[in-house]
Amino acid sequence: MKVHIVRYTPRTGSRTAQLLEHAVSQLDPAAVTVTDLAARVPPVFDQRTVDAYIQRNYAGQTLDAEAAQGLAPMDRYVEALRAADHVILATPMYNFALPGAVKAWFDAVIQKDRTWTVRDGQYEGWLGDHRALLLYTSGGVYEEAPAGMDQLTPMVRQLFGFMGLSALDVVAAQGTAGAEASVASAMSQARARIDQVLAGWRADAAPPSPVERGLHAEVG
Ligand SMILES: Cc1cc2nc3c(=O)[nH]c(=O)nc-3n(C[C@H](O)[C@H](O)[C@H](O)COP(=O)(O)O)c2cc1C
C-alpha cells in the first residue's frame, strides 16, 4: 500500500501535524512519499505556464525545453500522486477554506489527460483506484454551522472527486480555538477515527485469505 502524503502544516506546534504524525506512525516508511507544501510552496500558474499547459494538454503541442521546464514542478506532483495507491492530505482550515498553497497543489495536479479527461462528452477522473484521507483542524466548529460556512470539506471532495477519487474519508479536529479539555477531546476522537480509516485501508490491501481465494476460484 503506497501512500502519498500532501501536507501543509507550517505553524510551530501544528495540531494538524500532530494528527498526521499519528497516521504516519502506522504506515510503512518505505511505502510513504511526501509532498511538503510548507517547505516548498507550490507554483501558481502565470502567463508562461498557463499558456504552456493549454498548448500541451489541450492542443497536443510539443513544448520547447523552456516551456516544458516551467511545467516540470507541477508534473512532479502529478507523478507522485499517480504512483501512490492512497493519498493523505493534511491541512488546517484558513479563512473557511483551503490555504492557498493547498489550492495551488490541486491546480497543479488537476491536469487534463494526466489525472482526468473527457470521454464521449463526459468528464472522467483517472484516480478511481486511489483512496484519500483528508485530515484537517479548524479553530471553529462547523458541524451545525449554516451551509457554506465550511468551504474546505466540500471543495476537497469536489477536487479529488473530479480526478475520480471519490473514496474520501474526512477526519477533523474542529474547535481548536476552544477550551483545552474540548480540544484534547476533539484530537483524541480524531486519532481514533484515523485508526479506523487506516485499519480499513490495511484490510483492503491485505492479500486475500485462502477462503477468499477459494471463493474467487469458484466464481472465476
Ligand atoms: C491564517 C489563518 C486563518 C484561519 N482561518 C480560520 C477560519 O476561517 N476558520 C476557523 O475555524 N479557523 C481558522 N483558523 C484557525 C485554524 O484553522 C486552527 O487554529 C487550526 O487548528 C490550525 O491548525 P495548525 O495547528 O495545524 O496550524 C485560521 C488560522 C490561521 C493562521
SS3 letters across 82-126: HHCCEEEEEEECECCECCHHHHHHHHHHCCECCCEEEECCEEEEC
**84 closest CA partner among 170, 197, 165:** 165
Q: Is 137 in the pocket of ligand 1 (CB under 6 A)?
A: yes
Side-chain half-sphere exposure of 146, counting CA atoms within 13 A: 0
Model's pTM, two decimal places?
Answer: 0.94
- Banded model confidence at residue 123, pLDDT cuts 50, 70, 90: very high
87 forms beta bridges with: 4, 132
The domains located in the chain, with CATH, are 3-219 (3.40.50.360)
Q: Dihedral, CA atoms, 50, 35, 161, 128, nearest 10 degrees?
A: 110
165-196 pLDDT, tens digit each = 989 999 999 999 999 999 999 999 999 999 99
Q: Which has more pLDDT, 14 or 146?
A: 14
Q: Dihedral, CA atoms, 127, 98, 202, 109, nearest 10 degrees?
A: 30
The C-alpha cell at 165 is: 477519487
Task: Please state, in angstroms and rounded to a whole number, the distance separating the CA atoms of residues 80 and 42.
Answer: 14
Report the atom number in ligand 1 closest to the C-alpha of 96: 8
Q: Is 35 in the pocket of ligand 1 (CB under 6 A)?
A: no
pLDDT of 217 strictly over 90 = no
